[in-house]
Chains A and B, each alone.
Chain A
Amino acid sequence: MEGMSIIVKKIVQLISALIFVFGMYSAIHGHINPGGGFAGGVLLSGAFILLIIAYGLDYFKLKQQTEATSIFESLSILIALLIAFSGLFAGSLYFFNNYFPAGTPGSLISGGLIPIYNVLIGVKVAATLSTIFFALIIYKEEIRR
């Protein structure tokens, strides 16, 4: 897949940065705003996918990218699982025990562990959707050749 024209490339550069920032905002503020980890992750991966579509496959070394994304995918879910499991050792023997102080409702630092899970889910979803996209597009290119 080749890249598109210079106009598209320049505009995508601008827009994808905005989408990326909005995705991060959405994932971090998931516990006080509508949005959350999944929506944020979709936005993050959307920013990457937009860049790839505009610049073409050869610009990014996609094979290495796929390995990196699948490592991120596994790591984020492992960390989430470990944090959830650590609840067992924090007092009350409950899985997914929210043992952080709750904070004041409505502020960014609140909800205990929930923002951390949101960020991890965001990373996971972004990595997964990128992996799916890479896998489909690499395979399609292989068919064409």
Chain B
Amino acid sequence: MTLYILCFILFLVGVYGVLTRRNLIKIVISLTIMEFSVFLMLVLVGYISGGLAPIVVHPEGSDISVVDPLPQTLVLTAAVIAVATNSMVLALAIRLYKKYGTFDIRKINELKG
């Protein structure tokens, strides 16, 4: 249970970072922290104690316990998506830096939404 609570604390650290930091790059880093806390949580949820990696190398009928591959594939896919997010956001941050000459979001305020 401690591990789950630690994951949740990590998630909150990320949320705190996104909400309070003023630097674009630091916001991206906080978003990444949030991402990894959720991935950790998923892997923890899917783990069975003593389970092996879910690869079929043993002939059928042998009695071994493997962990469920579903959360692991989900984490892998979500990690790929996280790569896409991070590269997109960083590319935007570089573009914004070129337009405004700063990474400070207080100075990047053309829009008021």
Contacts and interface: CB of A to CB of B under 8 A. Distances in A.
- Is any CB of A less than 8 Å from a CB of B in the complex? yes
Interface of A: 31-34, 38, 105-106, 125, 129, 132, 135-136, 139-140, 143
Given A105-B58, A106-B57, A38 B80 contact: yes
Nearest to B72: A34
Interface residues of B, number: 17
Majority SS of interface residues in chain A? Answer: helix
Interface stretch (B21-29, B40-48, B86-94): B86-94
Nearest to B77: A38
Chain B interface mostly? helix
Contacts, number: 31
B103 to A, nearest CB: 13
Given A34-B53, A143-B98, A136 B91 contact: yes
Interface in B37-91: 53, 55-59, 76, 79-80, 83, 87, 90-91
Q: Which 10 A-B pairs have the closest CB atoms?
A: A106-B57, A132-B87, A105-B56, A143-B98, A105-B57, A34-B53, A139-B94, A136-B91, A32-B57, A32-B55
